[in-house]
Chains A and B, each alone.
Chain A
Amino acid sequence: MPFFGELYGNPSSAYSIGAQAAEALAEARKTIASLLGAKSGEIYFTASGSEADNWAIKGAAQALREKGRHLITSKFEHHAVLHAMESLERDGFEVTYLDVNENGIVDPAALEKAIRPDTTLVAVMLANNEIGTIQPIAEIAEIAHRHKAVCFTDAVQAVGNIPVNVKDLGVDMLALSGHKIHAPKGIGVLYIKTGTRVRTLIDGGGQERGRRGGTENVAFAAALAKALSIAVERMEDNARVAALRDRLADGLLARIPYARINGDREKRLCGNLNISFEFVEGESLLLWLDKNGICASTGSACNSASLEPSHVLLSIGLPAEKAHGSLRFTLSHENTEEDVDYILDTLPGIVQRLRDMSPLYNSSMARIADVAVRG
């Protein structure tokens, strides 16, 4: 990483190592633009995906507030989007939160019904971060534009996992984050289509063509460009990863009664599996999995500081008690069939063990054949 050493220059300065940093930044911008089907001048570096979400939503809402004060989003967006919307509600904007269907998809017809002449912004995520479902953004953007509204998509979970082209999607703004694609934490991008009116969120010294103040993080921008290039190359492996994911999903459903997959099985990211097990709680599943060397996550309240179950799982109609028993597995190109089979050998026993001590589980219910738990 030369940008922490010999190329430490500030890209805005006149000295030569500054120029080299500026060149590296321009190169990173160009790479990212070309991978997204955008122009270099439409790529803005931010400090995170959350900043990009906040900038897009607050910036567009404020820039267009004379035209209207109605915004539309969905119920299962990332909190960076939902909380930015709530902040705008406190400032006098009106927000419609679209329902998500039981498969975890936002229905474009619902948008068509909710959109009004004073709607200025439609913000729907490209792929959900918990259940991996991919949204019909091209259709959503078309509806937004027909009603003269701006369309923003939070593509943090999608970029690097599925092909993302801003022209094909037809969006005016798109947010992405570095750490989701193995770049360092603390770098994000907001794509802003030329001509889109967005008020500046961070005022400062004229960086990012005067639209986002703060000295650019050259090293992380370069890392993000590299990480995105690698992620796009690895998409060749998506079909194999999806096959592994399906092997895991089908295997768990076959071995464990009272289980269900959360989210559409087809329209979802290749590496995502979100599955609920009745009568048990997610954090205790995670602790046992961790003891067996398996890392997963859960939508249970017990795993969060808020003590509320996942708003994503509730949005697709899961009752709270089933949301508590959810697990999310994320598979990547590095995973193998052996990894999947190891989970299939390990998890059923863990679920049975916890069900056996659950007051919700009746011992006469269908049992899992193999109840041995390793560790």
Chain B
Amino acid sequence: MYSEKVIDHFTNPRNVGEIPDANGVGEVGNATCGDIMRIYLKIDDNGIIEDAKFKTFGCGAAIATSSMATEMIRGRSIEEALSLTNKAVIEALDGLPPVKVHCSVLAEEAVKTAVADYYRRRGEEVPAAAIVCDGCCEACAHKAQEE
């Protein structure tokens, strides 16, 4: 059911962990739905993503999309990270089963939420491209849990 690339990123996930001095952290999903992704970003003074790491609770596709999304934004500019789409993540993984597409949506939203956090920490206005729904991809029947 999964492509070889998905299995590769699931069994050997890239960028697992936390960044102690991250300046942007985004968490999306909830345990009720069965997926939580937390992405840590270290963004330098020139707006380049020096490092990206993740921690994910979820299925094989959730882990693989987290791994791929962090790979795709490392070393890129904030603008490039914000233009990352779930479709690009799916393509990079050689496809996902239809029922797992929402995992790629979560990965895209986790990146955007982490970037939004970066702007908030700096006291700057969050660009429209970084605003996503409140941590639920609406793929399932549950609503996002209140913080």
* A residues in contact (CB < 8 Å) with B: 279-284, 287-288, 291, 300-303, 305, 307-309, 319-321, 324, 356-361, 375
Contacts and interface: CB of A to CB of B under 8 A. Distances in A.
Given A281-B57, A291-B11, A357 B34 contact: no
Given A284-B10, A305-B99, A307-B99, A321 B31 contact: yes
Interface residues of B, number: 32
B55 A303 contact: no
Interface centre among A279, A291, A308, A357 (most CB of B within 10 A): A357
B55 A301 contact: no
A361 B31 CA distance: 12
A354 to B, nearest CB: 8
28 contacts: A281-B58, A283-B59, A284-B58, A284-B60, A287-B2, A287-B7, A287-B10, A287-B60, A302-B61, A303-B59, A305-B99, A307-B34, A308-B140, A309-B34, A320-B33, A320-B34, A321-B31, A357-B13, A357-B16, A357-B54, A357-B56, A357-B63, A358-B57, A359-B27, A359-B38, A359-B55, A359-B56, A361-B57
A302 B2 CA distance: 13
Interface centre among B10, B31, B142 (most CB of A within 10 A): B31
Contacts of B102: 307
A371 B85 CA distance: 35
Contacts, number: 82
Contacts of B54: 357
A301 B63 contact: no
Contacts of B36: 358-360
Contacts of B59: 281-284, 300, 302-303
A308 B139 CA distance: 11
Contacts of B128: none
B32 interface: yes
A307 B33 contact: yes
Contacts of B33: 301, 307, 320
A105 to B, nearest CB: 26
B133 interface: no
B56 A300 contact: no
B117 interface: no
A279 B58 CA distance: 9
A300 B58 CA distance: 10
A279 B34 contact: no
A324 B47 CA distance: 38
A307 B139 contact: yes
A288 B13 CA distance: 13
Given A281-B58, A305-B99, A320 B63 contact: no
Given A321-B34, A357-B13, A357-B54, 9 more contacts: A281-B57, A281-B59, A287-B10, A308-B141, A320-B34, A320-B142, A321-B31, A357-B55, A359-B37
B72 to A, nearest CB: 18
Contacts of B38: 359
A305 B97 CA distance: 10
Contacts of B34: 281, 300-302, 307, 309, 320-321, 324
Interface in B1-40: 2, 7, 10-11, 13, 16-17, 27, 31-38
Interface in B53-97: 54-63
A279 B57 contact: yes
Contacts of A358: 36, 55-57
B32 A321 contact: yes
Contacts of A361: 57
Contacts of B57: 279-281, 358-361
A25 B84 CA distance: 63
Contacts of A307: 33-34, 99, 102, 139-141
Contacts of A360: 31, 36, 57
A276 B18 CA distance: 26
Contacts of B32: 319-321
B1 to A, nearest CB: 10
B58 A302 contact: yes
A296 B35 CA distance: 21
Contacts of A303: 59
Contacts of B142: 320
B114 to A, nearest CB: 13
A281 B62 contact: yes
A324 B35 CA distance: 9
A14 B16 CA distance: 71
A307 B103 CA distance: 12
A319 to B, nearest CB: 8
Nearest to A373: B11
